[in-house]
Structure formats: C-alpha cells, structure tokens
C-alpha cells in the first residue's frame, strides 16, 4: 500500500499541482498511537482530499513508489560520478564501450516495469 | 544595630542551629566570603527533573511525515515525569522553569540530497525554533544523526514530545541503537 505522502502527491498531480513541498504545502503527522499518519496542515490551493479521493490515488501512488524504487536501485548500481567519468575516459582513450555497456546493464537489471 | 563578636556559634542544646526567622533576609556583604566545607542542601538546585529514554527496537518512519519518536524505555527518570506509553515528558507540579532537551535521532538509507529532521512538540504543537534538519551528501544509503539541543521555558503540566521525519521516498527506520530523547531542568 502506498504511503500517505505518495497518495497526496498523486492526488495533487491529478489536480494540476506538479510538486508538493511537505515542509510547507502539506504537513503530515503520525502520533505513534496506532492510528497511522494523517494530514496535519493543508496549504495547497486545491481542496484537501477526502478519504475516497486518497483511495482513488492509490494506484498512481503505487506506480510512483515502484518507479522510485527502480531509480534508487539504478542510482546505487551506476556508481559514483567519478568512477563513471573514469570509465568514459578509458573508453575514449582505448576505443571501448565499457561505460555504455555498464549503463545498459544497470537499466536491464532494473527495469521500470 | 548591635554587633555580636564571637568566633563560633553552636546550638545551646542538640545539634540544630537556626539563623533568623521566616521572612528575614540573611546577607553576606560585598567583599566577604562564605565557604562551605560540609554538605550544602537546597542551595543552587540539582537539575531535576531529569530523564533519558531510548527505544526497544527500530521504528518505521513514513516518508515525508513527522512521526513521534516511540522512546519506550527509560534509562533514568528522576521525577517519574516521562511516560513510556505515550513517549511524553510532562513538567511536574512545582517544577516550572527553563528546561534543556537533548536528542539524537539516526535514520539509515538516505541518499545524496535527502534530509532528515527532528523537532520538539510542546503541548502537541511543533516549536519551530527547535526544527533541526540534516541534509545528506553521501552518494547512496548514508546514515545520518540529528543532534537537537533545545531550551524552553515550561510550566507545570506542559508536555514535550520528539518528532522525526525524512524524505527518503519510502519508509525508513529510526535506529534504536543510536537514538535517544533526554531532558533536564536548568538551574537558574
């Protein structure tokens, strides 16, 4: 099940808001009393979502979280910028395709769907 | 005003010696020195109430959500002012004053450009002067600790809780190994 922040982001996107700042636009809170997270403050111009609207945003939120997981895995697998630049340097010098092959493998190993 | 010249005052009977009566002011004049070589009770205060709490296990913190730290294990609690059922310190009766709160909150798996924060909530509302954020610059899966020290004037019945948040993208653990919540009354 998607997190409340992901569902709100999906709901906002569907209503014309491209990004949500959770330090200013919307404040979420969990009082650790077993009730789970809830919307503490809502400062966006669009209406605060109902429970039904949040439930409707679940599918899009799940997809966004899955995609974020893929991007996180790819980011880790790509390696540091320094190591990739080193691969590119040697490719230019030696006429090899090590860096392109590496990136292609990372993408293949971590598909978006 | 009469002046009494003696080198030592002792009780006439027993071992208790009382100087002055309720409402009187006893003054040590400028330039004079009073030296204590014994036990001084009730001078200067003793920094209590004082408490420290930790967690019995890691706590999952949802993405982009301020979550109350579930510090359910007391390390010490001098005045029984910390409640492990709702993770709350409440100022006891007669203990109004200035308090210092100190916390360490550690969250793992943060990547470059992501942040973790902590803040103290007073009577259920965030005190923005206590908001503390650490941005992570490590490439991937960095482990960060926010050290949050905060002084606040409180009255009896006021309660204080510690909330944490992060923006990793998915739920991450607040580490029980490295996280704690503590506080004590300042001597003023």
ipTM of this predicted structure: 0.77
Q: Indicate the residue of B66, B87, B141 with minimum beta-carbon distance to A28.
A: B66
Report which of B98, B99, B103 is spatially closest to residue B117, judged by C-alpha positions. B103
Residue B46: CB atoms within 10 A of its CB come to 12
Kindly determine whether residue A32 and residue B59, on different chains, have CB atoms separated by under 8 Å.
Answer: yes
Q: Per residue of chain A (113 residues), what is the pLDDT tens digit?
A: 899 999 999 999 999 999 999 989 999 999 999 999 999 999 999 999 999 999 999 999 999 999 989 998 898 899 989 999 999 999 999 999 999 999 999 999 999 97
Q: Where are the beta strands (DSSP E) in A1-113?
A: 26-30, 38-42
| Percent of chain B topping pLDDT 70 | 98
Q: Has residue B102 got a pLDDT over 80?
A: yes
Kindly determine whether residue B66 and residue A3, on different chains, have CB atoms separated by under 8 Å.
Answer: no
Q: Indicate the residue of A4, A33, A80 with minimum beta-carbon distance to B62.
A: A4
Among A85-99, B27-41, B166-180, the range scoring the smallest mean pLDDT is B27-41
Query: Per-residue pLDDT tens for A81-98?
Result: 999 999 999 999 999 999
> Structural domain boundaries of chain B?
50-185
Q: Where are the beta strands (DSSP E) in chain B?
A: 50-54, 59-61, 66-68, 73-77, 82-83, 88-90, 97-110, 115-122, 125-126, 132-135, 142-154, 159-166, 172-174, 180-185
Q: Has residue B139 got a pLDDT over 80?
A: no
CB B176 within 8 A of CB B55: yes
Nearest CA in chain A to B72: A32
CB B107 within 8 A of CB B173: yes
Query: Per-residue pLDDT tens for B152-165?
Result: 999 999 999 999 99
Q: What is the pTM of this model?
A: 0.80
Nearest CA in chain A to B128: A23
Kindly determine whether residue B64 and residue A22, on different chains, have CB atoms separated by under 8 Å.
Answer: yes
Return d(Cα A29, Cα B162) in angstroms, integer: 12
133-152 in chain B: CB under 8 A from chain A: 139-141
CATH of the domain spanning B50-185, picked from 3.40.50.11540, 2.60.40.10, 2.40.160.40, 2.60.120.40: 2.60.120.40
Q: What is the pLDDT of residue B42?
A: 74
| B148 CA: distance to closest CA in chain A (Å) | 18
Classify residue B58 as exposed, middle or buried by CB count within 10 Å of its CB (0-12, 13-18, 19+): middle
Are β-strands A38-42 and B132-135 bridged in parallel, bridged antiparallel, or unpaired? unpaired
């Amino acid at each position: 099940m998607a997190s409340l922040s992901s569902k709100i982001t999906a709901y906002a996107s569907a209503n014309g808001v491209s990004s949500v700042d959770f330090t200013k636009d919307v404040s979420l809170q969990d009082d650790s009393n077993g009730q789970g997270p809830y919307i503490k403050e809502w400062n966006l111009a669009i209406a605060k979502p109902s429970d039904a609207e949040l439930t409707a945003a679940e599918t899009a939120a799940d997809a966004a979280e899955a995609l974020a997981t893929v991007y996180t895995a790819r980011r880790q697998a790509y390696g540091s910028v320094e190591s990739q630049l080193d691969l590119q340097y040697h490719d230019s010098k030696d006429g090899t395709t090590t860096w392109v092959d590496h990136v292609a493998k990372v993408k293949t190993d971590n598909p978006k769907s | 005003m009469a002046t009494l010249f003696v080198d030592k005052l002792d009780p006439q009977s027993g071992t208790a010696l009382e100087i002055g009566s309720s409402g009187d002011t006893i003054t040590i004049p400028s330039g004079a020195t009073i030296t204590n070589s014994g036990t001084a009770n009730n001078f200067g205060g003793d920094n209590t109430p004082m408490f420290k709490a930790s967690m019995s296990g890691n706590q999952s913190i949802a993405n982009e959500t301020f979550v109350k730290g579930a510090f359910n294990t007391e390390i010490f609690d001098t005045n029984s002012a910390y409640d492990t059922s709702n993770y709350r310190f409440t100022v006891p009766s007669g203990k109004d004053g200035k308090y210092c709160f100190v916390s360490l909150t550690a969250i793992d798996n943060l990547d470059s450009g992501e942040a973790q924060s902590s803040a103290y909530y007073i009577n259920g509302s965030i005190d923005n002067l206590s908001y503390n954020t650490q941005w992570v610059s490590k490439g991937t899966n960095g482990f960060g600790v926010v050290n949050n020290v905060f002084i606040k004037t409180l009255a009896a019945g006021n309660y204080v809780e510690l909330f944490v948040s992060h923006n990793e993208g998915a739920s991450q653990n607040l580490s029980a190994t490295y996280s704690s919540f503590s506080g004590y009354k300042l001597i003023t």
